[in-house]
């Protein structure tokens, strides 16, 4: 145990870059939005200041409209180290004050949850540095952006407009809506990811052609958020559940800062009831994403459909747990939790978000189980995740059946989650 914690700490130290942590050397040489939130959860056990700076540097790149970018490009690495890099996003994505270039897309809103945990780990240092006082208004503007500008379907739920925004990039849930997107020819760009990881562990060229088309169209439209302009627009349970849980975290911060928590509780309740009304399928005992164009559910069983377990007061916890423990996910029996239905004919145990187990979604389910007072199952999941890391190392993702490691090695959020689970 001691040794595992030591190895995890070494990874976070090695991946630190003056103010932020890279997800992994080589494959991901910049700062990523939701990675930073998970990384801060681990860093808070090493250094409260470092954990605070991780989130502060990300929010330093927040756009005037409130969006928190998917990627903040590190000017110290060559522009072509990652694709699509700063040259792709161009002048429209250059921060007016800092000059930093970012991606114009966003990622799942785990930040309020992470910021609250970072504060609670060392309230004295947080108070001394004015961490919450400075971050709370920025977190509020981030959530305002999502709620005001991204409710493209007018349903009360937030849309993601690119698979990269969902965090679950090549999830089978996106196959149908993505199938309507005309791919850019693979000959027109160079995938840098394949220089670091086997093609069988990454999205396909056809997927990439569509990712590039969607990102280029959004950029060329000046990052305007309209349903008509978004060929891909889905209401996803992971993003909306995180936003609801994040509003509850903002309510706690407001209370601490002497602000009014009531509006945050109201937003959390409204999001939760929209999640229940629009994305929950009682027959399946699972949440599904919904296509904002067709208004139909995308009926693929993915780990994202279980993430609403993190929502305080969710009325269908037992139903979700029954599904999680069944044949599709085998929670508590296999090591961490697979990203996709183990029984599906298109389940692929090594291909990114089409099967492998990831440690950030494992952490979210674990955190949810603890909040919902399922301590025993939470303990089993925790032990399973730590065993998986002992077996495979700090890999980006693992085969849920064999435990074989895939993707990057020395992956920052895997290390951060391990540190948090060992505390």
**164 binding ligand DGY? (CB under 6 A):** yes
**232 binding ligand DGY? (CB under 6 A):** no
Dist. CA 226–CA 5, nearest whole Å: 46
Which residue in the set 56, 151, 169, 396 belongs to the binding site for ligand DGY (CB under 6 A)? Answer: 169
Q: Which residues have a catalytic role annotated? A: 169, 396
Count of residues engaged in binding ligand DGY, rule: CB under 6 A: 4
Minimum Å gap between C-beta 26 and ligand DGY is: 12
- Give 58 or 132: the residue with its C-beta nearer to ligand DGY: 58
Minimum Å gap between C-beta 367 and ligand DGY is: 22
- Give 23 or 403: the residue with its C-beta nearer to ligand DGY: 23
Instruction: Report which residue's Cβ sits closest to ligand DGY.
Output: 164
Minimum Å gap between C-beta 107 and ligand DGY is: 7
Minimum Å gap between C-beta 266 and ligand DGY is: 32
- Give 40 or 71: the residue with its C-beta nearer to ligand DGY: 71
- Give 69 or 336: the residue with its C-beta nearer to ligand DGY: 69
Token couple for 323:
């599904």
**207 binding ligand DGY? (CB under 6 A):** no
DSSP assignments along 17-55, one per residue: -SSSB-SBTTTB-SEEHHHHHHHHHHHTTT-HHHHHHHH
Dist. CA 287–CA 274, nearest whole Å: 12
Minimum Å gap between C-beta 164 and ligand DGY is: 5
Per-position x/- string for 68-87, each x denoting binding to ligand DGY as judged by CB under 6 A, each - no binding:
--x-----------------
- Give 70 or 272: the residue with its C-beta nearer to ligand DGY: 70
> What phi-psi label fits residue 355: left (phi over 0), alpha (psi between -120 and 50 degrees) or beta?
left
- Give 70 or 335: the residue with its C-beta nearer to ligand DGY: 70
Q: Long-range contacts: 80-84, Cβ < 8 Å, 24+?
A: 80/190, 80/192, 81/29, 81/192, 82/27, 82/28, 82/29, 82/30, 82/192, 83/189, 83/190, 83/191, 83/192, 83/193, 84/189, 84/212, 84/215
Token couple for 221:
């439209």
Residue 207 DSSP SS3: helix
Minimum Å gap between C-beta 359 and ligand DGY is: 15
**Which residues lie closer than 8 Å to 163 by C-beta, 6 or more apart?**
169, 170, 171, 174, 178, 207, 211, 214, 232
Q: How many CB atoms lie within 10 A of CB 336?
A: 29
> What phi-psi label fits residue 301: left (phi over 0), alpha (psi between -120 and 50 degrees) or beta?
beta
CA dihedral (280, 285, 291, 295) positive or negative:
negative
Per-position x/- string for 32-71, each x denoting binding to ligand DGY as judged by CB under 6 A, each - no binding:
--------------------------------------x-
Q: Which residues bind ligand DGY (CB under 6 A)?
A: 70, 164, 169, 193
């Amino acid at each position: 145990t001691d040794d595992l914690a030591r190895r995890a700490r070494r990874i976070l130290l090695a991946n630190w870059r003056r103010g932020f942590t890279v997800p992994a050397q080589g494959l991901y040489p910049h700062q990523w939005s939701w990675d930073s939130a998970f990384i801060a959860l681990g860093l808070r056990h090493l250094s409260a200041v470092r954990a605070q700076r991780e989130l502060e540097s990300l929010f330093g790149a927040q756009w005037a409209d409130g969006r928190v970018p998917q990627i903040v490009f590190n000017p110290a690495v060559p522009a072509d180290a990652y694709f699509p890099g700063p040259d792709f996003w161009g002048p429209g994505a250059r921060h007016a004050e800092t000059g930093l270039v970012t991606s114009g897309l966003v990622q799942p809103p785990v930040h309020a949850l992470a910021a609250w945990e970072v504060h609670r780990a060392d309230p004295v240092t947080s108070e001394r540095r004015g961490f919450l006082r400075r971050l709370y208004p920025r977190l509020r503007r981030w959530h305002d952006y999502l709620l005001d500008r991204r409710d493209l379907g007018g349903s009360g739920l937030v849309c993601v407009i690119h698979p990269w925004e969902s965090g679950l990039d090549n999830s089978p849930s996106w196959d149908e809506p993505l199938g309507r997107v005309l791919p850019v020819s693979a000959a027109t760009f160079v995938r840098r990811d394949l220089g670091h990881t086997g093609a069988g562990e990454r999205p396909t060229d056809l997927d990439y052609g569509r990712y590039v088309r969607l990102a280029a169209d959004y950029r060329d439209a000046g990052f305007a958020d309209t349903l008509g302009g978004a060929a891909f627009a889905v209401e996803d349970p992971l993003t909306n559940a995180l936003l609801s849980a994040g509003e509850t975290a903002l309510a706690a911060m407001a209370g601490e800062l002497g602000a009014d928590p009531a509006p945050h509780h109201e937003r959390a309740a409204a999001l939760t009831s929209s999640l229940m009304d629009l994305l929950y399928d009682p027959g399946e005992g699972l949440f599904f994403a919904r296509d904002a164009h067709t208004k139909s559910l995308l009926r693929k069983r993915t780990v994202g459909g279980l993430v609403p377990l993190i929502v305080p007061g969710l009325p269908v916890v037992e139903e979700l747990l029954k599904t999680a423990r069944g044949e599709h996910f085998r929670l508590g029996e296999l090591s961490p939790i697979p990203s996709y239905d183990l029984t599906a004919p298109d389940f692929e145990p090594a291909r990114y978000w089409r099967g492998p187990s990831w440690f950030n979604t494992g952490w979210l389910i674990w955190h949810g189980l603890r909040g919902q007072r399922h301590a025993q199952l939470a303990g089993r999941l925790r032990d399973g995740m730590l065993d998986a890391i002992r077996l495979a190392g700090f890999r980006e993702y693992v085969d849920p059946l064999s435990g074989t490691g895939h993707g990057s090695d020395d992956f920052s959020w895997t290390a951060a989650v391990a540190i948090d689970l060992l505390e």
